[in-house]
A and B are shown apart, each in its own frame.
Chain A
Amino acid sequence: MNERARMLDQYASRVYKNRKDHVLQLEDTPGVPEITANTRTVPGIITNRGCCYAGCKGVVVGPLKDCCVITHGPIGCGFYSWGTRRNKAAASEGGQNYIPYCFSTDMQESDIVFGGEKKLKAAIKEAVDIFHPKYIMICSTCPVGLIGDDVHAVARQAEEEYGITCVGFSCEGYKGVSQSAGHHIANNGLMKHIIGTGDKRPAGKYSLNILGEYNIGGDGWEEERILKRIGYDIISVFTGDGSVEAIQNAHTADLNLVMCHRSINYVAEMMKSKYGTDWLKVNFIGVGATIKSLRDIAKYFGDPDLMARTEEVIADELAAIGEDVEYYKNRLKGKRAGIFSGGSRSHHFQALLKDLGVETIIAGYEFAHRDDYEGRDVIPQIKEDADSKNIENLTIDADPELYKTRYSDEVMHALREQLPVDSYPGMIPDMKSGHIVVDDYNHVETEMLLKLYKPDIFFSGIKDKYIIQKSGVPSRQIHSYDYAGPYAGFKGAVNFARDITMSITVNAWGLIVPPWKSEPMLEGALTGGGE
């Protein structure tokens, strides 16, 4: 039995039937194998998934610093998504920063029985009176949809009454099968109500949006620093350290960069249809990946000066970290890692681990879709099921005034040959024969994998961090970076290398077994009687 078979062997037949297509062991065969993803979790399985609200409020909308995000629902959801995702943000000059605040309608039983719209309206009024925000976002939780509160109508009314921008999101937790539905709903809301409403023109010659960058541990700041050094104008970041004010002008950028494909590819696609903006899949996690991404961006614009400047910056940044990377590489070479993240990180971090000589033998996602694993070419083959049909798919037409394309079809064709323009090959092609890929990974499978592979380090989230650690395997949280970072770009690579070396080598690992359990005790008794 190979590892995959042994993993699945523990299940009774009905669970086995469900799980078997979510678990792949890669083989030496041509082509990318098919995986089942984005389907319902088996009830009772201790999954790592969250819900639609977590994807909408927690991931995409929550990090917008200049808007007051009100969670409409009972207290829990708002409370748990308060300050827990490390999407760092600093107020822009003269701007407001709501990130340290948690706003909720704290629905009570009477609101559930008689409807919560009245309370939501009152909450908006109070927010306006106290904070005078320019933007308010409303995120719905489970009961809101069930009792039929119309958050969109309330939002429209608030816009009229207070002359502000107010957007409602119907991101009730039960929608879809995971956080993923919430990303989609959030993307739709931003596209419908925010993007394209500003009229500030770019200041620089080449301007960019960074999509799917949530500034965990300051990653986005590190990316911006490097890109600005080269000379790019960053119009907006979705949504780490992001602001509605900036995102309103996103449509004026020359090119969209996509970091987290899962959470934001909808915006990239919709902007392509509406404004003609091309998008490029980038990865700033890893030295090699960062260099490639920087070169790709320059190549897209095709300006020799820009390319030269890109090389200068790369050389300079590399020189600054070279020695450190070599040092850690020597200590980490030959180690093997497992990584389970929500969406794109499992792919992104493989590049960085590889730079450090660490092979990723186990990888998986909480809530990815087949295209995140197999590449976007499979999208036409993905069958819609009832759960995904419940999430609105916007039909986007080209904007008659703003739609523009940079290149002719022939040029684009040539560019596509060399660059990941409007495309993403997925994670699996970067993995090797024997490696394991698991979708919607769960507790028992994680335990099994630890036993079967004995990896040197395992990256996951807080829910299984201590399970992994208690099993004797060093574990680091890859969603929150264990409160460290940034891990992006050149300097980030060194931070990461240092942190994982620390976790693998910390002296406490050698102290687990008490000496009286590993040493013969006879000696003690003998010396006791001496002299």
Chain B
Amino acid sequence: MLDLTPKTIYERTALRINPCKTCQPVGALYAALGVHRCMPHSHGSQGCASYHRTFLSRHFKEPAIASTSSFTEGASVFGGGSNVKTAVKNVFDIYDPDIIAIHTTCLSETIGDDVNSYISDMDIPDGKLVVQASTPSYVGSHINGFFNMMCGFINYLTEKTGSPNGKTAVFPGFINPGDMRELKRLLSLMETPFTMFPDTSAVMDAPMTGKYEMYPAGGTTLAEIKALGDCSHIVALGRITSVEPAELMKKKFKVPYTLLPLPIGVAATDSFITTLSKLSMRDVPAEIEEQRGQLIDILLDSHPYTHEKTAAIYGDPDTVLGLAEFCLEMGMIPKYMITGTPKEEFTKQAQALFAKYGVEGCTAKANADLFELHQWIKNEPVDVLIGTSYGKAIAKAEDIPLVRAGFPILDRYVHSYLPLVGYVGAMRLAELITNALMDRQDRDCADEDLETVM
């Protein structure tokens, strides 16, 4: 497996090998799926939409709908205006969404299509809406696409009426529907009135009823997005993923925000809960305290198996930061942390973590790829890999256990239903990581050392 990867590290400037990121539109598509009765629309050739839908379906094991402008060579040369206008007409006609969220692809971006002005020329049926976001694939990553689409909705829909609605807006970051459910549970327990945007729960984890619904029950409603400007505060989760929409909201509507890390692990969840407690001026209920206590109990019980174990963590920037901090809380060392997303904020945050926990000899790199990570591991191995499915070849090649966490996970089931965030999510992560390490010990030990009680 990966036999051609040499140990000698070669400084590459042009060739990306085994990427740890993908392109903007897939993030934009995911964000749009988190809006109720929304049809994501890909402005470009149908190949992009096909790849993006395929990819999301493979991660969530759910339908991921999206329409496309279906460019051919003509549209690529003369502009995609007529394609997108026809497309919008047809989409409202045939699929009857309440809103169409258009994102661009590298094709329409390169020819410089002005989707904004196309929209103003469109015949949009009464009561229906069209929004757009520019998501060129040669800038940033799918993370940019996710927050750019959030900004697209805000730019087009959000208003400030002047009468505050007393709600807290929660920007959850690029996480699974299971995570969103857990955040909502915590918000309810904290008695915080909220709008979560976007919200893919009950869309990308909809139940089986025997009847297919093109627009399942979930998703942030248009009324809620409109009213974001009347929210009293924003809790933006994911320092990298959620900062731009939060800034936009502050600039446009003067809604203040608190930027927090993704609530993965104890400290990050603590900050989330503390913030909510301050905002809602409510004490943290016993149920949450109990779960936190259970989590700490678990960490203390299991620490002999995690203490000073080293991990290589890779994936989306905020997810990797969250996983790394939780590893540190378990006494582990996040020896390598990479993200493909080119955001230097990632390395800054990682360095801050290393300093906070006093660990040395760890490397964090943004705009990196899995080939590079593999080369580091070849030179100095780790005890466990934590990240997406794309690391499985390294895991096999180097015989290192892999704990799947983040996006995308294409080769396992159930993961997207169960949270990694919050204290409950951390319990699950603790179980996954500790079990991987303990399974490893069982597998590798001599017969006479095999323990029934551990």
Contact = CB atoms under 8 A, between A and B. Distances in A.
State yes or no: do A and B come from one complex.
yes
Interface of A: 10-12, 15, 40-54, 70, 73-84, 91, 96-98, 100-109, 111-112, 119-123, 125-127, 129-131, 141-143, 145-147, 173-179, 386-387, 390, 443-444, 447, 461-472, 512-513
B110 A130 contact: no
A173 B387 CA distance: 30
Interface in B57-109: 57-58, 61-76, 83-84, 86-91, 93-95, 105-107
B19 A462 contact: no
B209 interface: yes
B47 A52 contact: yes
Interface string B9-44: 010111111110111011000000000000001001
A91 B106 contact: no
A465 B53 CA distance: 12
A472 B211 contact: yes
Given A105-B15, A463-B57, A175 B22 contact: no
A510 to B, nearest CB: 11
Given A46-B68, A173-B47, 19 more contacts: A12-B93, A43-B70, A45-B67, A45-B94, A52-B45, A74-B136, A75-B22, A75-B340, A79-B23, A82-B18, A103-B15, A109-B138, A122-B14, A125-B14, A146-B107, A173-B48, A174-B73, A177-B72, A462-B58
23 contacts: A15-B90, A41-B46, A44-B41, A45-B70, A46-B68, A47-B46, A76-B106, A76-B137, A77-B48, A100-B2, A106-B16, A108-B138, A109-B138, A119-B14, A123-B14, A142-B107, A146-B110, A447-B212, A461-B54, A462-B58, A470-B212, A470-B213, A512-B208
Nearest to B86: A43
Interface in B371-399: 371, 390, 393
The 4 closest A-B pairs by CB, nearest first: A51-B47, A76-B23, A44-B90, A44-B87
B138 A122 contact: no
Contacts of B51: 50, 54, 76-77, 80-81
B3 interface: yes
B15 A127 contact: yes
Interface of B: 1-4, 6, 10, 12-19, 21-23, 25-26, 41, 44-48, 50-55, 57-58, 61-76, 83-84, 86-91, 93-95, 105-107, 110-111, 136-139, 141, 206, 208-213, 340, 371, 390, 393, 410
B54 A466 contact: no
Nearest to B51: A80
Nearest to A177: B72
A101 B18 contact: yes
B12 to A, nearest CB: 5
A147 B71 CA distance: 17
A210 B415 CA distance: 40
A96 B209 CA distance: 48
B16 A76 contact: no
A512 B212 CA distance: 13
B54 A462 contact: yes
Contacts of A83: 390
B393 A100 contact: yes
A108 B46 contact: no
A70 B17 CA distance: 9
A83 B370 CA distance: 14
A48 B65 CA distance: 11
Given A43-B69, A75-B137, A123 B76 contact: no
Contacts of B2: 100-101
Contacts of A47: 46, 50, 68, 70
Given A75-B16, A76-B137, A512-B210, A98 B50 contact: no
A51 B209 contact: no
A130 B74 contact: no
B360 to A, nearest CB: 30
B393 A471 contact: no
Contacts of B46: 41, 47, 49-51, 178
A45 B211 CA distance: 22
A202 to B, nearest CB: 30
